[in-house]
Structure 1
Amino acid sequence: MLDINENVDDIKPYIPGKPIEEVQRELGLDQIVKLASNENNRGIPQNVINKLQTKIQDLFLYPDGSLFRLRKKLAQYYKIDADQLIFGNGSDELLQMIAFTYLNKNKEVLISEGTFSEYTFAAKLVNAPIKYVSLKDYTYDLEAIAMRISAKTRVVFLCNPNNPTGTYFNVSTFESFMKKVPPKVLVVIDEAYYEYASGDDYPETIKYLKRYENIILLRTFSKVWSLAGCRIGYGIASPKVIASINKSRQPFNVNRFAEESALAMLDEKEWVHSITAETKKQMAYLYSELDKMKISYLSSRANFVFMTLKHDAKDVFDRLLRKGIIIRPMTGFGYVNSIRVTIGLPHENKLFIEALKKVLQEINAK
């Protein structure tokens, strides 16, 4: 038998939400509603589809490894310098690049419990020691994290809003935290749901990059920008941090079609604003229905709702699946009675509520 690295052998593979095609094959259902992976179910605007159809003919060419056009356009969008950007095959690849750049068996990382599992995955790939810090009221406890920083700490992973709870830390909490973080510790802020969360007292973290060189922001085109199938994310940091991480980047790590898709979507700002507005409206509908059903949930600043039931989450998931509704049980995050549900289209949200009522009736009738 071949030996594999112990740190790799210890890794639990990431299990994504079930794809629609798999459920159709397994259960023979025609109508499937996927509310498991926090995608934008509105899909792609037609004018973007039209633009992309003219780009298919160029797919025989390697992509631009520097992503010059996208780098320039995104820099203009955020009013930053182009050398403050790095791109990845989704934010997941950027997490691994950060781990390869800053961590090893002697350099530890701080990760919160009850958060996105890919932080642990990236750390284990490089055999880095991991310190876990508990959430406080389902939210990142930045004060506790700051207290756990040691002489060996080199990276802290934060997720704001947090996946899977949808909770967030505010400006004052973040500013207080950063004052306690040594310059040698890189603070990685995963803001995959930034567009849904921004406003009020949510930290506009880009402005802190001028004050702190030890911050990198991770954002993505997979959520509100509707490009989950393209796999393209990006990091924003100081030019020095970007240059360091870029050393571990594979050449041509973002494909040509993904770049063209991102370029086209960046022209759809008003469309994106309409998505976030509609999401808030539909979230209010879900809150109202859950209140009527006396189901506990967390107020969310993302495009999903974390709810806790009086029943086993896996059982609820299986029963909803048989009715053609795909959601995400939170068992893998340690919440055995909780599920996470993406805010879908209006008719999808209604179908979910109807199916959930039937499932709970079935369970209670046992």
Structure 2
Amino acid sequence: MDQNSLQCALVRGGTSKGVAVARDELPEENTNTALLSLFGSPDERQIDGLGGGTSTTSKLMIVEESNRDGIDIDYEFGQVSVRDPTIDYGGNCGNMTTVVGPFAVDQNMIDVPDYGETTVTLYNKNTETRIDQSFEVVGGRTATVGDHKIHGVPGTGARVDTTFYDPASTIEKGLFPFNERVTTLDVDGRSVEMTVLDVTTPVVFVRASDLGVTGTELPEDIDNNPEFLDRIEQIRATVCTELGIVNSPEDATVESPGFPKIAFVAPPTDYEATVGHVTESEIDITARIMSMQYLHPVYAVTGASCTAAATLLEGTIPNQVADAPDSGTVELGHPKGKMSIEASVNGNNTVESVTVSRTHRRLMEGQAFYTLETNGQ
């Protein structure tokens, strides 16, 4: 069969990497088959496609001009599985959201000033939420060079501020989908205490100590522990079923591998990160989050947004273990270092917005090839 092609860009957003493509570039039929071929999935190295062989480098953003009032750009996120012929559209990715406004500007989807800061209003179709994104434009294109530093990416880059408005209840079950701040569920015969919170994405929070870990682990510590991986996926799969996303826990890993997310949290503490030392006084909470059944090498931005909100909401497990700040800025300690997230919490029952600052870079643009026959299908 002859190859087909589409125009796209290979992009880095925050600490993730993937493909950004205009919706009208995609084939009308067999779309997922084409995209799996484009990424080279399923294959653990994605050797026959553009994917990077890990969950954080196998991500998709589909971008289009919006017809909604007050919205400039619509977009949809897809988590492309490395090992299975699956694309999970169940939630959003905050790191890759960083590229959406810049991609739209550079593709001439919207008009912006030639120089200075611009703000683009986005609509995420996965979670049905509005997002404002502010960044610098130089010569009619998005600035890339700057002095903003994020842990997990070498060097510095141009700052992109992303604010998620009314970010709760993305799965339409409220801020607390189980209507309580701490829930106890039976998971394979054992009781597990957890907080399930839905802010930008639903996240299951469990105390690290309840899982027999410290919360300071690095990817090699977790990813080489099959017993722990199985245990934490059982917890996530049980919640996935209780939320009605899948019919049974056995279905969760295949049908909804990326959502809900699951994180384990601990008090602020000193630890050796992948690229340096983190001290207890620098952070408000120590946390680790899973990504497609392995430890995220940094921290998912949507998960970080939810973690920040949980830290500020009284009675949640993150709030119990954290040194909760007086202001709305939460410093989160992750495997690569730390991350700042601003959360606007009104009272103890409403999250008005969360803001995260990241950097981005367009790595390559042009014609990419795919076939309609993918490995494993």
Interval containing the TM-score (normalised by the shorter chain) = under 0.3
Larger Rg: 1
Alignment TM-score, normalising by the size of structure 1: 0.24
More helix per residue: 1
Alignment TM-score, normalising by the size of structure 2: 0.23
